Structures are given as C-alpha cells and as structure tokens.
Amino acid sequence: MGASQGNDARFGIWLAVIASAGFSLKAILAKLAYPHGVDPVTLVALRMLLAAPVFAVVAWREAQRGQPLTGRDWATVTVLGLFGYYGASMLDFYGLQYISAGLERLVLFTYPTLTLLIGWIAHGRRITRRETVASLLCYGGIALAVVHDIEVSGDGALIALGCALVFGSSLSFALYLTGAAAPIRKLGATRFSVLDSETVDSFELGAKTALMNRTLFLDGAAFFYQYDNFQTTVQQGTQFVLTNAGKAESYGFEGQLRWVPSDVLTLFATYAYNHSRFKTGVRDGNHFRLSPDHSASFGAQASLPAGPGRIVFTPSVTWQSKAYFDDDNDRPDLQQPPAALVADNIQDEWQGSYALVNARLGYEAPGGAWRIEGFIENAFDKKYIMDAGNTGDSLGMPTFIGGAPRFYGVSASFRFGGAQ
C-alpha cells in the first residue's frame, strides 16, 4: 500500500470513529434536551435541518454529472427514507422520553436479529444454531436491563412503552436493511462515486447449421471480453460502495442442439462454458458473482396423437457448477474490519453444483385451441441457494435466499379470435 493509500485509509478510519461516536452520543444529547421543553418532533426536525445543507450539496453535484432519477427510483428512495431515517428516528426519539440512553442503545441494536427474522419469513432463509443462541443471549441481556430500569424508575408501564417505541425503530431500520441492498447497489454507487470509466473489448464468433436432412440443428458462439477499470461493489460497514477492481476477463462458449428424429419426438440440449475472473488487485483470481463455469440442460418433447388432439410430455433437467454470490467470493481476508463491522471468517456464501428435474404432461386440442397440463418443477425437492450476503453480511449474519422448492400444479390455456 502506498503512502497516499495509507493516508486515505487512516482518514477513513477516523471518519468512521467520529461517525460512530456521534451516533452513540445522539441518545445522550436527546435526553439532555428533553428537560428543557424540547419535544421529539423538534429534535428530529433540527437533525434533518442540520443534515440538509450536506444533502443539498451532494444533490446539486450529482445533478451536474449523474443521470436523473426515474419515477420508480424516487419512489424507492422515498420509501427507504421513510423506513430507514424518518420513521426509525421518530420512534427512537419518542422512546427516549421514557427509557434511559443505555437501555435505548441495547434495544435499538436488536435490528440484526430482526433482519434475520425478516429474512426467514420473507425469503425462507434458515437461521443457524449459532445465530439462534446469539439472539437469545441478546434478548436475555435486554430483559435484565429492562428489569433494572423498572426497579430504578418504579414505573414499568412507561419503561415498556419506551422499549416498544425503540423496538419499533429497530424494526423499521431492519426493514430498511432488508430492502436496501439492491437499491444501494444501483443508486448509492452511481450517485456518490467517481471512478475511471469502465471499458470492455468484446469479441464474439458464432455459427449455426442444419444437418441430417434438416432434422439436426446446431448453433454455438465463442466469446472473449477484456475489461479495464472493472466496476464492482464493496461493502464498507453496512453500505455498498462502487470501486475500481482493475482488470478482468471473461471467455467461453455457448451452444445448443435440437434433434427431431420423428414427428412425435424432439430432443434438445444446451451447454455453456464461462470462465470469468478478476486479473488484478485483491480479487485476482476470483470468480465473477453468479457466474458458474459450467451450465447445461437437456430434455425431450414427445407429442403423441390422442383422439382429435395430442398428448404432450416434456421432461427436462438443468444443471450448473459451483457459483459465488459476491465478487469477493466470500473470502475471509476481504471481510475483516473496517470493511465489515464484524469479521466474516467462514466461507459459506456459495452454492455447489446442483441439478433440477422438471416435467410437464398435457393434452392439446386440434389447432392449439386450448390446452390443459400438469407440471412439476424441482421434482426431487433439491435444496439450493439463489443468493446470499446483502447488508447483514457486515454484521456476521448474511441473508441466504433459498431456491424454489418442489412445486406442482395444473394449468389451462385458451386461444380466442383469429388463426389458431
């Protein structure tokens, strides 16, 4: 690391220390202000007014060089602001009227456990035994602190009310963290970072043909992409920040085959090889996120006459090799403080190779006027992960999003109007 990078790192650490100290002092300053007749709404308004000049400067700067936000972007930012800033702040400041600053800190920092619970309810993310024990210890400590404050104040109802309000603030912030990862990747990175332009040299070559009296169809393409100033995101605390990862390259092949040996049978298959790697910097050798080296599928479609219509049976299998869910490949050496609030020393945010079996069986009327079919997806109920990490990763509690379980049902479709 050069002298300039070292100075930048030390400056960043000091900023983080100052920010943490200011955030921790918030509750104490609020408690000191209440005896002088200041109400929570006034405190929140003053807090926003003090921050407004900074936001105004940033907004003006980004308006000069950034792309304008779409209506959907504005809606996303507004909802996140209501949950993560305004709503959480209001509940927190109201709760501070009834409980001590120390108890407020304890209750407020239950949001990682709430993030776990939301991930389990919304995404089916499994909560590990270690996380369960840590959560129970957390709430056990809070219970002891609540009992102490009740004994000191003698008014259990007010203590309960204050804890409920601050807990609502924690829940509001947990909802913000759960929903903020994707918008931060899109908006936070592009609106608050200035990096060298990413460039890519791309080369592709493809071909297709028909053989065996046009019963065998083949097509394929080879590709090579070379990146300079590859832009990716890194996690700093609970925020995602755009960074320049240097050089990277991706090369491989994609092909597909379709064989029609008879009027009643069609066989098909696909295969893709994708070697995508970082070539410089701390990620040298890492895989691109969500980029398995190998993926393939194969299946068949049998269409047999049955009365005036046809019975159609379509089984298929899809397979992919190991994939990582972040460009850091969940390497422990890239997830130590200050990059993460809590060191992540377990490399578990990846999915090994797996296959899914699907099938459809249906009856189709002449000319395709209507069709009814039964289907099953993930027939063997394979357990796999679609994504992992997100904001909770910085706290040592990544969110795991499970893939769809076995799913089956019946569907019907109809065609109306013109040609069948």
Q: pLDDT tens digits for 165-205?
A: 888 888 887 777 766 655 655 555 445 444 566 788 889 99
| Residue 18 covered by a domain | no
Are 360 and 259 within one domain? yes
Are 138 and 154 within one domain? yes
Angle between helix 129-153 and helix 101-108 axes, rounded to 10 deg: 160
Last residue of a domain, one of 170, 192, 214: 192
Residue 262's beta-bridge partner residues?
265
- Residue 189: which residues within 8 A CB-CB, separation 6 or more? 233, 240, 241, 242
CB 83 within 8 A of CB 91: no
Does residue 209 sit in helix, strand or coil?
Answer: strand
| Residue 264 covered by a domain | yes
In which domain, by residue range, is 274 found? Answer: 199-414
Going from the C-alpha of 122 to that of each of 108, 118, 150, 290, 383, the distances in angstroms are: 22, 6, 35, 21, 17
Are 258 and 141 within one domain? no
| Residue 81 covered by a domain | yes
Amino acid (1-letter code) at residue 111: Y
Q: Pairing state of beta strands 309-320 and 354-364? A: antiparallel
| Residue 12 covered by a domain | no
Amino acid (1-letter code) at residue 26: K
Are 234 and 342 within one domain? yes
Please count the structural domains in the chain: 2
Q: Where are the beta strands (DSSP E) in 185-247?
A: 199-211, 216-228, 231-236, 239-244
What string of pLDDT tens digits covers the 420 residues of the chain?
445 455 656 776 777 677 767 776 777 888 788 888 888 888 888 888 887 887 777 667 666 655 566 777 777 777 777 777 778 888 888 888 888 877 887 787 777 778 778 777 876 667 777 778 877 887 787 788 778 777 777 777 888 888 888 888 888 877 777 666 556 555 554 454 445 667 888 899 999 999 999 999 999 999 999 998 888 877 665 556 678 888 999 999 999 999 999 999 999 999 999 999 999 888 899 999 999 999 999 999 999 999 899 999 999 999 999 999 988 898 888 888 766 767 788 888 899 999 999 999 999 998 888 999 999 999 999 999 988 876 666 666 778 888 999 999 999 998 876 554
Q: Which of 305, 302, 246, 295 is nearest to 274 (CA)?
A: 295
| Residue 3 covered by a domain | no
Backbone angles phi, psi at 338, to 5 degrees: -90, 0
Query: The domain spanning residue 271 has which CATH number?
Result: 2.40.170.20
Q: Please report the pLDDT score of residue 190 as a whole number.
A: 44
Q: How far apart are CA 150 and CA 143, in angstroms?
A: 11
Are 81 and 209 within one domain? no
Q: How many CB atoms are located within 10 Å of the residue 392 CB? A: 25
% of residues, the chain, pLDDT over 90: 34
Last residue of a domain, one of 159, 192, 225: 192
Are 132 and 214 within one domain? no
| Residue 7 covered by a domain | no
Are 94 and 181 within one domain? yes
| Residue 11 covered by a domain | no
Tokens of 395: 């706290």
Are 314 and 408 within one domain? yes
Q: pTM for the complete prediction? A: 0.56
Estimate to the nearest angstrom the gap between the alpha carbon of 379 and the chain centroid.
26
Last residue of a domain, one of 192, 222, 243: 192
Tokens of 346: 């377990």
Are 131 and 208 within one domain? no
Are 174 and 275 within one domain? no
Are 269 and 377 within one domain? yes
Q: Please report the pLDDT score of residue 193 as a whole number.
A: 41
For all residues of the chain together, what is the average pLDDT?
Answer: 82
| Residue 180 covered by a domain | yes
Q: Please report the pLDDT score of residue 1 as a whole number.
A: 45
Q: Please report the pLDDT score of residue 275 as a whole number.
A: 97
Are 249 and 373 within one domain? yes
